[in-house]
């Protein structure tokens, strides 16, 4: 007969005791977790919203280090658009528009055809929120949310265009999981500074903007459309090119930008 291991007390090991302890531990722990989640939720949502707004203000050129983000954000005009036609949907409240939720809703989103899905997004919402910055009624910047797959992760950012809908004003990536120290050049100032002034479409309307492999040669005829890449991070750079090509293409903001270039407000 195998030796029975010495037990501290018979009572402590009974089934009832075990179930009771398990029950009470779970009860206490779950209420702790639940109350923390409930109490902290409003702050977390406010933080996330604040962060998105801060990034929009940054590319809008409106961010002031001392200013209150929510106050400054009042100068930005969010508008919901229908991506297929590029038309504004004024009956949809941009405040209540949640791109993450609508992307999951089969009625409000479309599957991106595989041959068009260069940015590897899978599906996108039928609508999008764009942000307009105006100066005395005239649009001065158009801010478009963009996303796409880099090397390891989905990159999320905002691309700001000049009112002609064809010149880059600024770009910012606020969320990514690329390699630290290499692929995270996306969030670095020197690289961001290479974007303003780059052209999106050529005279024939062909989408040309891209991140080149390594530095753009000085005599490159397409230099106006090419942004310096970072050697060692070619795939992250390609990811940026792909998301630009998708989102500024016909399946992305193309129709909307054509409306803008055609003189719509």
Partner 1 sequence: MSSRAKRALLDPIVDDNPVTLHVLGICSALAVTTSLLPSLYMCVALTVVASLANASVSAIRKVLPASIRIIVQMTIIASLVIVVDESLQAFAFETSRELSVFVGLIITNCIVLGRTESFGSKNPVGLSFLDGLGNGLGYSAILILVATCRELLGKGTLLGYTILPNVADGGWYSPNGMMLLPPSAFFVIGLIIWAVRTWKVEQVEEAEFRIHEVHRTEAH
CB 144 within 8 A of CB 79: no
CB nearer to partner 1: pick between 49 and 111: 49
Radius of gyration of the chain (CA): 25
CB nearer to partner 1: pick between 158 and 246: 158
What track of x and - describes contact with partner 1 for positions 164 through 203 (by CB under 8 A)? Answer: -----------x-x--xxx-------x-------------
| Binding flag, residue 101, partner 1 (CB under 8 A) | no
Q: Minimum distance between the CB of residue 205 and partner 1, rounded to whole angstroms?
A: 38
| Binding flag, residue 40, partner 1 (CB under 8 A) | yes
| Binding flag, residue 13, partner 1 (CB under 8 A) | yes
| Binding flag, residue 26, partner 1 (CB under 8 A) | yes
- Cα–Cα distance for residue pair 93/99, rounded to 1 Å: 12
**SS (HEC) of 95-123:** HHCCHHHHHHCCCCEEECCCCCCCCCCCE
How many residues contact partner 1, by CB under 8 A? 30
CB nearer to partner 1: pick between 89 and 235: 235
- Cα–Cα distance for residue pair 48/239, rounded to 1 Å: 24
Q: Minimum distance between the CB of residue 115 and partner 1, rounded to whole angstroms?
A: 33
CB 156 within 8 A of CB 56: no
By CB atoms closer than 10 A (0-12, 13-18, 19+), residue 36 is exposed
Q: Minimum distance between the CB of residue 230 and partner 1, rounded to whole angstroms?
A: 12
CB nearer to partner 1: pick between 23 and 105: 23
| Binding flag, residue 65, partner 1 (CB under 8 A) | no
CB nearer to partner 1: pick between 47 and 265: 47
| Binding flag, residue 111, partner 1 (CB under 8 A) | no
Which stretch, 8-16, 59-67, 115-123, 255-263, contacts partner 1 (CB under 8 A)? 8-16
Structure tokens at 25: 């531990």
Which stretch, 46-54, 199-207, 218-226, 242-250, contacts partner 1 (CB under 8 A)? 46-54
CB nearer to partner 1: pick between 17 and 104: 17
- Cα–Cα distance for residue pair 138/25, rounded to 1 Å: 62
Write out the residues near partner 1 by the rule CB under 8 A: 7-8, 12-14, 17-18, 21-22, 25-26, 29-30, 32-33, 36-37, 40, 43-44, 47-48, 50-51, 175, 177, 180-182, 190
């Amino acid at each position: 007969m195998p030796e029975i291991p010495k037990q501290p007390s018979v009572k402590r090991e009974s089934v009832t005791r075990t179930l009771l302890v398990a029950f009470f531990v779970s009860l206490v722990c779950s209420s702790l977790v639940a109350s923390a989640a409930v109490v902290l939720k409003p702050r977390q949502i406010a933080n996330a919203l604040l962060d998105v707004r801060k990034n929009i203000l940054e590319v809008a050129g409106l961010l002031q280090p001392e200013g209150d983000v929510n106050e400054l954000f009042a100068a930005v005009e969010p508008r919901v658009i229908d991506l297929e036609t590029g038309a504004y949907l004024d009956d949809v409240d941009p405040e209540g528009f949640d791109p993450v939720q609508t992307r999951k809703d089969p009625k409000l989103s479309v599957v991106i055809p595989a041959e068009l899905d260069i940015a590897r997004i899978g599906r996108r919402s039928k609508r999008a929120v764009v942000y307009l910055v105006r100066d005395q009624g005239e649009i001065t910047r158009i801010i478009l949310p963009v996303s796409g797959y880099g090397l390891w992760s989905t990159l999320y950012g905002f691309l700001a265009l000049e009112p002609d809908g064809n010149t880059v004003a600024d770009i910012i990536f606020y969320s990514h999981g690329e390699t630290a120290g290499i692929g995270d050049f996306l969030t670095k100032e020197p690289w961001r500074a290479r974007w303003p002034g780059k052209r999106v479409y050529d005279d024939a309307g062909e989408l040309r903007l891209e991140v080149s492999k390594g530095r753009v040669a000085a005599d490159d005829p397409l230099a106006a459309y090419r942004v310096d890449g970072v050697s060692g991070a070619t795939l992250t750079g390609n990811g940026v090119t792909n998301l630009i090509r998708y989102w500024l293409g016909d399946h992305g903001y193309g129709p909307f930008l054509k409306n803008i270039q055609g003189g719509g407000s």
